[in-house]
Structure 1
Amino acid sequence: MVSAIATLMVDTYATSYYNKKKMISGVVVRSGDEEAVTHTQSHQHAHSSVPMMMGDSIFELLRYRVISQVLEVGIIVHSVIIGIALGASGNLKTIRTLFVALTFHQFFEGVGLGGSIAQAKFKSRAVTIMALFFSLTTPIGIAIGLAITKGYNENDRKALIMEGIFNSASADILIYMSLVDLLAADFMHPRMQGNGELQLGANISLLLGAGLMSVIALWA
């Protein structure tokens, strides 16, 4: 819960920061229009509307970038924890079930993160770095698990506390980002709001996806 609140604070401050930048740019455009008193009113309107539209698109782009970066942080924390659990496990049956759960988790998280990164329109270098972080965190977690397997007791009190803290932190981040920044934005989109069939399909898909992930969690 604390992580969800912290994520809310970060998201709020980031959005507020970009809002202020947008307002400042709007003031600059407005003052420029006031100085151009010789222009006709229609020309003034055309002159001011273009920067406003550009400002809106830049604001949306920056917002998508904040969302994708915070989302990746949550996924990275989650992936490292699962990797450690998989690497430190000495039970073949547990390894198999964790591997199946990990495959599904990574696939759906990758799809969600990939879509978010695509909307953010990062440069190729940034996309490559984010893809590498996503791809390497689980193997790194597995390597850490293998390294500590001799002295690691998954039923130890301290180990359970640390695992619980990291799991809850990543879960809070992912739940908040999925509900507030991803699902809410998509479900409130004018295209979704104006199409009843699309709304029904999206809601059914959401419920089915949540149900399937809950079933997978039985083996995680």
Structure 2
Amino acid sequence: MKFGSWSKLVVFTSLTFGVIAESSNEVGNSRLVKKNQFGLSKFNFNIKRDEHEEEEHDHDHDHEEEEHSHEHEEEHDHDHEGEEEGHTHTTFNVTGCHLHDDSLHCTDPDGIEGMISPLPTHPRENYTDCHSHGTEIYCMDGETEYLFIRESDNDINLANEEISCHMHAGVEHCTYANGTEVSSLDGNYCEKIDRDYNIPLRIGLLFVILVTSAIGSFGPLILRSLFKISANNVIIIIIKQFGTGVILSTVFIHLLTHSFLLFSSSCLTNLNYEPTSASIAMAGLFIAFVIEFIAFKIISSRIEKLNNRSTASTQNDEHEHGSIEKTNIDHNSSEEEIFANNEPSRSSYDKLSVILLEAGIVFHSILIGITLVVAADTYFITLFIVIVFHQFFEGLALGSRIIILNTSVWTKMLMAFIFAITTPIGMAIGVGTLNIFNGNDPSTIIALGVLQSASAGILLWTGLVEFLYRDWFFNLKNASWFSTACAMLSLVLGLFCMSLLGNWA
């Protein structure tokens, strides 16, 4: 048989098998060895089927490789991927691990802080055999492996996300769209954030705060003046004890908590003394104690001198010597006995106590005004509503103490007026500094923190010693059970109301 005949026979046979393979839908059963221009369309069909089969085979092969890689990942065998990315399998340790809220923070050898995830049941100070797998880092705790997430790695992913911020206690808290809090390690967190503020709204609400503060501070004065009620009336007792609760809650829920937040800011990189806030508050308490103790000694000495003069004058008066009662006071008499026998001196002491109270409140109120104005517009209205109640309660607390002073009406009105204008003054300062104010600047944080802590110490002394102790162990010791019960309920109500506001401000 000639070569041409053999060629035709081969072509005919191939075409026959191709048609049979097409009709039976069998995959991968025909292979063509030679090509010929004759019957090219049938050859193309078979070539396309072969390519499709090869793609399916490659896909299955890739799937097997992916499953194999996943199994290696579960077995923590990262050598192959490390070689592809040019990494060497080196290990290191993370140290200085400490709990912060519900997360465990550690530091790698480069000084970069990160978080161990998930939170171990029994956290350790150090984790060993940490190694990289692609962009992730794993650390060992015995046979258990944890993920070490460096904050600098998060910054790369979060840098382009939208940031929303709000002011709390003078501290600007910013979060990304996914809820992650922005930290100072993000690079620009401690820098000033430029915003568009609704200044007319802030100026208008300044007068609302002024009126509200005035109602709180002048209210007890007007109430007593209109109804001619005594200082021992149950209504006055209720207002006073409510004010005492407000003052104590202001110390613990607002001032101390806010100062701790300020001094724990990550922007204060050089502050290593953690109890800074508590130590400044303690100093404020000590200063208040020293001032009142010196005043007490001066007043006691004045009483004794006046008493001695009165005794000497009585002894020289033969007509009244036998009928006059002994008015000199023993040196061992209690504070209450001393002041009970000399009303003018006691009034001076009470006035000093109220002045200290107002000093602590005034510092705090100025900071509140600044904090309110510099808050972002999205948070401003909420904070404004909270501060309206805050100022009204504090005004009542101060006004309830002003009305019992044995001084002129003009002095009482002046003290109430000073409180009423302090927060608006703070708001005016905030409006004037909106373009330059940076709540996360280290110097600003320190200034705000010191004032908050010092105010907390002063108010703690006056709230606990001058108001709570003196009222309950002296002024209310002879009160009826009804008055005592009303006073206790009012005290608790003051604590509760002011503490509730701490949820928003």
TM-score, normalised via structure 1 length: 0.87
TM-superposed deviation, 1:5: 0.8
1:64 match: 350
Q: Is 1:218 aligned with 2:498?
A: no
Structure 1 residues 219 and 127, CA gap change in structure 2 (3 angstroms): same
Residues 1:175 and 2:456 are matched in the alignment: no
- Counterpart in 1 of 2:244? none
- Stretches of structure 1 that go unaligned for 5 or more consecutive residues are none
**Partners of 1:164 and 1:114 in 2: CA distance:** 27
Verify the 8 A CA contact 1:78 1:166 in the aligned structure 2: yes
Query: Which shows bigger deviation, 93-102 or 59-68?
Result: 93-102
State the Cα distance separating 1:190 from its structure 2 match.
5.2
Identity in percent: 28
Name which of 111, 121, 126 aligns with 2:406. 121
Q: Distance in 2 between matches of 1:192 and 1:201?
A: 14
* Larger CA Rg, structure 1 vs 2: 2
Query: 1:49-94: per-residue Cα shift (whole Å, max 9, x none)?
Result: 9xx99852112211221112111111110110000111222x1243
* CA deviation vs aligned residue, 1:23-60 (integer Å, no higher than 9, x gap): 1100000111111234452x1228x59xx998521122
Give, as a single letter, the amino acid of the residue that structure 1 aligns with 2:348: L
| Residue from 127, 130, 136 that aligns with 2:415 | 130
**Residues 158/180 of structure 1: CA separation in 2 closer, same or farther (3 Å cut):** same
How many residues were matched structurally?
215
2:307 aligns with 26
Q: CA deviation at 1:153?
A: 1.5
- Quote the Cα distance in structure 2 between the aligned partners of 1:193 and 1:135: 34
RMSD, matched Cα: 2.3
Give the corresponding residue for 1:202. Answer: 487
Contact in 1 for aligned 2:365/2:423 (Cα 8 Å): yes
Query: 1-side partners of 2:345 and 2:307: how far apart?
Result: 12
Q: CA deviation at 1:128?
A: 3.0
Alpha carbons 1:72, 1:134 under 8 Å: kept: yes
CA distance in structure 2 between the partners assigned to 1:19 and 1:96 by the alignment: 50
Q: Which has the larger displacement, 155-164 or 135-144?
A: 155-164
Q: Does 1:8 align with 2:293?
A: no
After superposition, the C-alpha distances for 1:9-35 in whole angstroms (9 at most, x for unaligned) are: 111111211111111100000111111
The partner residue of 1:107 within 392, 405, 426 is 392
Amino acid at match of 2:354: S
Contact 1:101 1:219 in 2 (8 A): yes
Q: Deviations over 1:104-156 (max 9, x none)?
A: 22112111211211111332332232222111111110011111111111122
Paired residue secondary structure (2:437):
coil
Length-normalised TM-score, structure 2 = 0.40
Give the Cα–Cα distance (whole angstroms) in 2 for the partners of residues 110 and 128 of structure 1.
12
Is residue 192–residue 198 contact of structure 1 (8 Å, CA) maintained in 2?
A: no
Distance in 2 (alpha carbons) for counterparts of 1:54 and 1:203: 25
Distance 1:207 1:76 in 2: 24
Aligned AA for 2:325? H
Residue 79 of structure 1 aligns with an amino acid whose one-letter code is: S
Instruction: With a CA cutoff of 8 Å and minimum separation of 6, indicate the structure with the bigger relative contact order.
Output: 1
- Name the SS for the 1:120 alignment partner: coil
Give yes or no for contact 1:61–1:119 (8 Å, CA) kept in 2: no
> Which of the residues 440, 445, 452 maps onto 1:160?
445
Over 3 Å counting, the alpha-carbon distance change for 1:94 and 1:169 in structure 2 is farther
Structure with greater proportional helix content: 1
